[in-house]
């Protein structure tokens, strides 16, 4: 689904579901590194850095999900981005 959304240029990828998650959250959950990298580059150019720091209803960002995935490659993608706000704290 996330891959399909990325292919659709007219679909806004900053739209949240009922849990406050955007497609990047689901790409992380699916541990799809290729989609994550493509998403980051596309969305920064379209929406700016705020897209990477969107919080879900629990206050978690994509970086939080990357850390929770325990996938070092995915986490490193986020840690290498200068656009990530490392100081966002979730509600827990």
31 burial type by CB count under 10 A (0-12 exposed, 13-18 middle, 19+ buried): middle
**Percent of the chain scored above 70 by pLDDT?**
77
What angle do helix axes 72-79 and 62-69 make, rounded to 10 degrees?
150
- What pLDDT, in 10s, does the model give residues 31-61? 888 777 777 766 666 676 788 899 999 999 9
Q: According to the model, what pLDDT value does residue 5 have? A: 62
CATH of domain 21-87: 1.25.40
Task: State the pTM of this model.
Answer: 0.78
Contact (CB, 8 A) for 14 and 47: yes
């Amino acid at each position: 689904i996330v891959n399909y959304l990325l292919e659709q240029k007219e679909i806004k990828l900053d739209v949240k579901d009922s849990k406050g998650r955007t497609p990047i959250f689901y790409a992380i959950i699916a541990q799809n590194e290729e989609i994550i990298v493509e998403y980051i580059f596309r969305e920064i150019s379209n929406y700016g850095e705020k897209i990477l720091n969107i919080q879900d209803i629990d206050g978690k960002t994509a970086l939080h999900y990357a850390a929770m995935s325990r996938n070092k490659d995915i986490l490193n993608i986020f840690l290498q981005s200068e656009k990530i706000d490392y100081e966002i704290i979730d509600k827990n």
